[in-house]
Amino acid sequence: MIDRAACEIRDQNDPLRAFREDFVLPPGTIYLDGNSLGAQPAAAAARAHEVVTNEWGTGLIRSWNTAGWFELPVELGEKISGLVGGGAGATVVTDSTSINLFKAASAALDIQAEDAPGRTVILTQRENFPTDIYILQGLARQLGGDYEVRLVDDAEVAAGLPTALTDDVALVVLSHVNYRTGRLFDMASTTEAIHARGATVIWDLCHSAGALEVDLAGSGADMAIGCTYKFLNGGPGSPAFIWVSGALQNRFAQPLSGWWGHANPFDMVADYAPADGIRRFLTGTQAILSMSVAEVGLDIFARADMAAVRSKSLELSDLFMTLVEQQLPHHPIEIVTPREREHRGSQVSITHPEGFAVMSALIERGIIGDYREPSVLRFGLTPLYVGFTDVWDTVEALRDILDNRRWDLPRHQVRGSVT
Ligand SMILES: Cc1ncc(COP(=O)(O)O)c(C=O)c1O
């Protein structure tokens, strides 16, 4: 039997313990939603103040040069590339994940049409985060009905797409970790299977960048996209990233061909000519305030060993699942996150018929996870600021809420526009 004292000892021996000081959390809060919006880095407020007051207020337009604003997409891209195995000069931070997916998918289909004309199917997970599916559907519509978006089950993806990879598949778009269940797919073997059937792959790293070790180049991936506001702690709505393998960079036909992707944006000429390399993934003027603050989150990772982050993440999720089984066996709870470590991201998801109300009761006592339809309570485990005792206290609070039906109050049925 695991008890709280055992969790306290694990916290004392935790090599990542000091990183908790890099984040600001309200007193009395256990924050288990870093898979949705990462916690605030302690240095973020000062950086935001500096950018607004000095760089914008005093530097004014000069700051595009003097404060390095124009270089931020590339500079931050390098920092993310280091975390996802993308190599140098292959990643930029820009736009949102949805927009980057549109750009990447469009470019990938163009390349496929040149290399293997006649392929008309875009595959993605039925259980993918909806924006990925919607963006692909919108792109297919825009391409005049020549393309069809086909949905596959996660089980088929986990098995290496044995039946779905027919000869008409041009592009496969996969989330590396499922946002609802936390299931992790094997990037290297899945990429290999997709390439063996002549298709291109785009990986969505929203739930794996900063959460686990990713090796894009080593896996032979073609393109990747992801956000910075979850495990990378970039702040609400912070810009996303896009990575393109070296072999495809100069074949990347930017569908949103704005001036920031132009070879010489300040020549102000009438014809679009794409920049060589990664600048062509850019479209227009970037959200500098947001990007400057996102850098603070990324810089914390410069001091963090991703192997240690992954190792603690798995220990936290192992502990969470063990405690759910130990403390809550008498409740109608199902753990939907895979038990096998190699199939798990950095969250634990459980279902309960009253999931929404149970999460509301937990949040009321300062334990913040979130809820996703149908009946799923998600608990993000971000090793830089979540400890083993936090996990113990969360499962104990769940036990109290369930044993005493504390969720069964009208106020726990009230839904905001964001769940
Ligand atoms: C896998 C995945 N893709 C995309 C998104 C969101 O994309 P955007 O930042 O464009 O809203 C999310 C958000 O949770 C996600 O989990």
Q: Are residues 266 and 139 in the same domain?
A: yes
Do 285 and 407 share a domain, yes or no?
no
Antiparallel, parallel or unpaired: β 148-152 and 347-351: unpaired
Residues of the chain with pLDDT under 50: none
Cα separation of 270 and 229, whole Å?
36
Give the H or E element holding residue 224.
strand 223-226
Max CA distance (Å), the chain = 71
Are residue 119 and residue 171 in the same domain, yes or no? Answer: yes
What span, in angstroms and rounded, lies between the C-alpha atoms of 269 and 267?
A: 5
Q: Which atom of ligand 1 is nearest to the CA of 97?
A: 10
Domain that holds residue 56: 49-301
281 annotated as ligand-binding: no
Q: Is residue 204 flagged as an active site residue?
A: yes
229 catalytic? Reply is: yes
User: What proportions of the chain, in percent to the nearest 5, are helix, strand and coil?
Assistant: 45, 15, 40
Q: Is 216 exposed, middle or buried (0-12, 13-18, 19+ CB in 10 A)?
A: buried
C-alpha 266/C-alpha 70 separation (Å) is 12
CA of 241 to the centre of ligand 1 (A): 12
Å from CA of 289 to ligand 1 middle: 21
Residues 239 and 338 in one domain: no
Q: What atom in ligand 1 is closest to the CA of residue 229? A: 9
- Could you give the 3-state DSSP secondary structure of residue 229? coil
C-alpha 413/C-alpha 222 separation (Å) is: 44
How many Å apart are CA 132 and CA 128, to the nearest integer? 7
In angstroms, what CA-CA distances link 301 with 155, 264, 295?
A: 33, 33, 10
CATH number of the structural domain spanning residue 72: 3.40.640.10
Question: Residues with beta carbon inside 6 Å of ligand 1?
Answer: 96-98, 129, 131-132, 175, 179, 204, 206-207, 227, 240
The tokens describing 379, both together, are 């608990």
Give pLDDT tens digits for 29-78: 999 999 999 999 999 999 999 999 999 999 999 999 999 999 999 999 99
Q: For residue 370, give Cα distances in angstroms to 33, 123, 379, 408.
A: 7, 28, 7, 18
Give the integer Cα–Cα distance in Å for 349 and 371. Answer: 9
Length of the chain: 419
> Would the annotation count 129 as a binding residue?
yes
Residues 227 and 150 in one domain: yes
Peptide bond preceding 374: is omega within 30 degrees of 0, i.e. cis? yes
| Ligand 1: residue whose CA is nearest its atom 14 | 36
3-class state of residue 309 by DSSP: helix
* CB distance 348 to 325 below 8 Å: no
CA of 175, closest atom in ligand 1: 1
pLDDT for position 335: 98
**Atom number in ligand 1 closest to CA 99:** 10
Where does a domain end: 301, 326, 341? 301
Same-domain check for residues 254 and 119: yes
Is residue 28 one of the residues assigned to a domain?
Answer: no
The reply to whether 272 belongs to the active site is: no
Q: What pLDDT is recorded for position 410?
A: 95
Q: Residue 179 CA: which ligand 1 atom is closest?
A: 16
Q: Say whether both 262 and 394 belong to one domain.
A: no
Pocket test for ligand 1, best of 99, 177, 207, 227 (most atoms within 8 A of CB): 227
Q: Is 229 annotated as a binding residue?
A: yes
Ligand 1 pocket check: which of 94, 131, 373 to mutate, most ligand atoms within 8 Å of Cβ? 131
Indicate whether 38 belongs to any domain: no
Instruction: Consult the annotation and say whether 285 binds a ligand.
Output: yes
Tell me if 332 is assigned to some domain. yes
Catalytic residue among 204, 222, 370, 390: 204
Q: Measured between alpha carbons, how far is 369 from 388 in angstroms, rounded to an integer?
A: 16
Is 232 part of any domain? yes
Which entry of 47, 79, 183, 230 is annotated as an active-site residue?
230
List the structure tokens of 15.
């090599």
Report pLDDT digits (tens) over 308-354: 999 999 999 999 999 999 999 999 999 999 999 999 999 999 999 99
411 is catalytic: no
In a domain, 125, yes or no: yes
147 a catalytic residue? no
192 located within any domain: yes
Across the chain, how many H-helices and E-strands are there? Answer: 14, 15
Q: Total structural domains in the chain?
A: 2
Q: Give the pair of three-digit tokens for residue 378.
A: 């998600």
36 domain-assigned: no
Amino acid at 180: R
Distance 205 CA to ligand 1 centre (A): 9
Q: In whole angstroms, give the CA distance from residue 316 to residue 95.
A: 32
